[in-house]
Amino acid sequence: MAKKAELLEEAAKLNLEVTEKNTIAEIEAAIAGVEKTEAPAEETHVAKAGKRSEKALAEAEAKAEKEARKEAGDTTPQSEEAEAHAKKGPKPVVRPLIERRGKAYRKVAEQLEKGKIYSLAEALELATKTNPSKFDASVEFHVRLGVDPRQADQNIRATVSLPNGTGKTIRVAVFAPESEHAGAKKAGADVVGDEEFIKQLEKEELNFDILVATPQYMPKLGKYARLLGPRGLMPNPKSGTVATDVVKAVTEAKAGKVEYRVDKQAIVHLAIGKVSFGAEKLAVNAKAFFDSLQSQKPTSLKGAYVKSVSMSTTQGPSLKVENSIN
């Protein structure tokens, strides 16, 4: 009876429904059944690294589950970030680029032959006819060079005086000693000053397009490099805006002297005039630009200097132009 009491006590701990009416054999069988169910599974040997490592086993198990879901066609998201793969609909119809343009653009684009390379004279003649804008648009050249702008000797930057001007009203500011003020004003400078000009910069009043400064006044502009530099207004000897002859610098700037430089993609962009100039005046300005660009060819350059030339009006279609430099 002592044995039966012990077995009943053990069965009670296991929450088994047995009583004194059950025989010792029945109680032992019930206890054995519970112990068999709760027997721990054999531990898998886990290595510190390799195919039997804990990480490798977890990845293998995840891969097996993924393959099983794939075979079953289960696309239910397995995490909050995941999305179920919905059945893709029909491919959207994308209209050609020309159809997404405005009516005025499409009308003038019909006058151009696709893939044709025009001579400079033909291109300039078309430029005066293919202006879709209601305003007097600029005629722009985009020249792709074979230079590496990261190389100091191939970073093209220069100025050119366009014989017929740019068609824009250029506001010139002069930062120079008081002795230069009268001559600068006579040459056509719009803003002239020294200490008063510094006060304008303090207020970030940039009511000018070109800034001319004398060499001795350049150190005073160092404080405003972050204001002037990103806007392309910082005077530079290469662009002729740091000059001892202030009158000459102002006269050239007013007459149509413009700066051009190569960008990170090795392309030079420059507007050579307005559509209202007509083909002849634009041709003279274009020749001055290409002559200046050719003179800037680096001596260390191997291969073609100019790769391609394109031209367009401000909002008009682009057309390829014959490469006259190479």
Same domain, 122 and 158: yes
Measured between alpha carbons, how far is 257 from 100 in angstroms, rounded to an integer?
Answer: 38
Q: Is the pLDDT of residue 326 over 90?
A: no
Confidence grade of residue 282 (pLDDT, cut at 50, 70, 90): very high
Q: What is the CATH number of the domain that holds 229?
A: 3.40.50.790
Q: Is the pLDDT of residue 16 over 70?
A: yes
The predicted structure's pLDDT at residue 267: 93
Measured between alpha carbons, how far is 37 from 45 in angstroms, rounded to an integer?
Answer: 22
List, in order, residues 6 or more apart from 242 with CB less than 8 Å away: 212, 213, 214, 215, 218, 235, 236
The predicted structure's pLDDT at residue 269: 93
Tell me whether residue 158 is in a domain: yes
Tell me whether residue 40 is in a domain: no
Q: Is the pLDDT of residue 18 over 70?
A: yes
pLDDT in tens, 245-276: 889 888 888 887 888 889 999 999 999 999 88
Confidence grade of residue 72 (pLDDT, cut at 50, 70, 90): confident
At how many degrees (to 10) do helices 279-295 and 120-127 cross?
130
Tell me whether residue 238 is in a domain: yes
Tell me whether residue 186 is in a domain: yes
Same domain, 261 and 312: yes
Tell me whether residue 28 is in a domain: yes
Q: Is the pLDDT of residue 191 over 80?
A: yes
Q: Which of 228, 255, 282 is the last residue of a domain?
A: 255
The predicted structure's pLDDT at residue 80: 54
Of these ranges, 13-17, 193-197, 272-276, 313-317, the one predicted with the greatest mean pLDDT is 272-276
The predicted structure's pLDDT at residue 85: 54
Could you tell me which residue, 35 or 205, shows the higher pLDDT? Answer: 205
Same domain, 10 and 145: no
Could you tell me which residue, 312 or 74, shows the higher pLDDT? Answer: 312
Confidence grade of residue 93 (pLDDT, cut at 50, 70, 90): confident
Structurally, the chain folds into a number of domains equal to: 3
The predicted structure's pLDDT at residue 76: 66
Same domain, 176 and 251: yes
Q: Which of 203, 222, 255 is the last residue of a domain?
A: 255
Chain mean pLDDT for the chain: 82
Confidence grade of residue 82 (pLDDT, cut at 50, 70, 90): low
Same domain, 314 and 181: no
Q: Which structural domain range is residue 178 located in?
A: 171-255
Q: What is the CATH number of the domain that holds 281?
A: 3.30.190.20
Q: Is the pLDDT of residue 46 over 60?
A: yes
Confidence grade of residue 288 (pLDDT, cut at 50, 70, 90): very high
Report the percentage of the chain scoring pLDDT > 90. Answer: 12
Tell me whether residue 284 is in a domain: yes
Tell me whether residue 268 is in a domain: yes
The predicted structure's pLDDT at residue 37: 58
Confidence grade of residue 78 (pLDDT, cut at 50, 70, 90): low
Confidence grade of residue 81 (pLDDT, cut at 50, 70, 90): low
Tell me whether residue 60 is in a domain: no
